[in-house]
Protein backbone atom coordinates (compact mmCIF):
# COMPACT_ATOMS: atom_id res chain seq x y z
CA UNK A 1 0.00 0.00 0.00
CA UNK A 2 1.79 3.13 -1.15
CA UNK A 3 1.72 6.46 0.64
CA UNK A 4 1.28 9.35 -1.79
CA UNK A 5 1.92 13.04 -1.21
CA UNK A 6 -0.72 15.43 -2.55
CA UNK A 7 -1.20 19.18 -2.94
CA UNK A 8 -4.77 20.51 -3.02
CA UNK A 9 -5.54 22.81 -5.95
CA UNK A 10 -8.42 24.46 -4.07
CA UNK A 11 -6.79 25.45 -0.75
CA UNK A 12 -3.06 24.69 -1.27
CA UNK A 13 -2.91 22.24 1.67
CA UNK A 14 -0.24 19.52 1.35
CA UNK A 15 -0.77 16.10 2.90
CA UNK A 16 0.09 12.38 2.67
CA UNK A 17 -2.45 9.62 2.09
CA UNK A 18 -2.18 5.84 2.32
CA UNK A 19 -3.92 4.60 -0.85
CA UNK A 20 -5.24 1.10 -1.44
CA UNK A 21 -6.47 -0.15 -4.79
CA UNK A 22 -10.00 -0.44 -3.42
CA UNK A 23 -9.94 3.04 -1.83
CA UNK A 24 -12.18 5.77 -3.23
CA UNK A 25 -10.49 8.80 -4.81
CA UNK A 26 -8.70 10.80 -2.08
CA UNK A 27 -9.90 14.20 -0.98
CA UNK A 28 -8.25 17.08 0.86
CA UNK A 29 -8.61 16.64 4.65
CA UNK A 30 -8.81 20.43 5.04
CA UNK A 31 -11.45 21.49 2.45
CA UNK A 32 -12.64 18.08 1.10
CA UNK A 33 -11.87 19.04 -2.51
CA UNK A 34 -10.86 16.32 -4.97
CA UNK A 35 -8.81 18.81 -7.06
CA UNK A 36 -5.52 17.16 -6.05
CA UNK A 37 -2.08 16.92 -7.61
CA UNK A 38 0.35 14.14 -6.73
CA UNK A 39 3.69 15.52 -5.62
CA UNK A 40 7.08 14.13 -6.57
CA UNK A 41 8.32 12.12 -3.57
CA UNK A 42 11.80 11.10 -2.51
CA UNK A 43 12.08 7.52 -1.31
CA UNK A 44 14.52 5.23 0.45
CA UNK A 45 15.62 1.81 -0.76
CA UNK A 46 17.29 -0.96 1.22
CA UNK A 47 20.40 -2.53 -0.24
CA UNK A 48 21.74 -5.47 1.73
CA UNK A 49 22.11 -4.45 5.35
CA UNK A 50 22.46 -0.70 4.76
CA UNK A 51 19.83 1.81 3.69
CA UNK A 52 20.52 4.01 0.67
CA UNK A 53 18.59 7.22 0.15
CA UNK A 54 17.65 8.10 -3.43
CA UNK A 55 19.17 11.24 -4.85
CA UNK A 56 16.78 14.17 -4.93
CA UNK A 57 15.96 15.62 -8.35
CA UNK A 58 17.83 18.65 -9.66
CA UNK A 59 16.20 22.05 -10.11
CA UNK A 60 13.31 22.43 -12.55
CA UNK A 61 14.53 23.36 -16.03
CA UNK A 62 11.73 25.82 -16.77
CA UNK A 63 11.56 27.88 -13.57
CA UNK A 64 14.52 26.88 -11.36
CA UNK A 65 12.30 25.52 -8.54
CA UNK A 66 14.77 23.69 -6.25
CA UNK A 67 12.29 20.87 -5.47
CA UNK A 68 12.68 19.51 -9.01
CA UNK A 69 10.47 18.95 -12.05
CA UNK A 70 6.76 18.88 -11.29
CA UNK A 71 7.10 20.93 -8.10
CA UNK A 72 5.80 24.13 -9.68
CA UNK A 73 2.71 24.99 -11.69
CA UNK A 74 4.75 25.60 -14.87
CA UNK A 75 5.30 21.91 -15.70
Give 19-42 pLDDT, tens digit per residue: 888 888 899 999 999 999 998 776
Query: Any idea which architecture 1-41+56-75 has in CATH?
Result: Single Sheet (2.20)
Residue 12 to residue 15: CA distance in whole angstroms: 10
Q: Which pLDDT does position 3 carry in this prediction?
A: 84
Is-above-0.75 flag for pTM? no
Residue 75 to residue 71: CA distance in whole angstroms: 8
Q: What percent of the chain has pLDDT over 90?
A: 31
Q: Which pLDDT does position 19 carry in this prediction?
A: 83
More confident residue, 50 or 8: 8
Q: Taking 70 as the threshold, does the pLDDT of residue 53 lie above it?
A: no
Q: Taking 50 as the threshold, does the pLDDT of residue 64 lie above it?
A: yes
| 14, 26 Cβ separation under 8 angstroms | no
Amino acid sequence: MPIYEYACGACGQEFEKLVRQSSPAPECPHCHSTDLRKKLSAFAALSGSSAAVAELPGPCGSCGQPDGPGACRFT
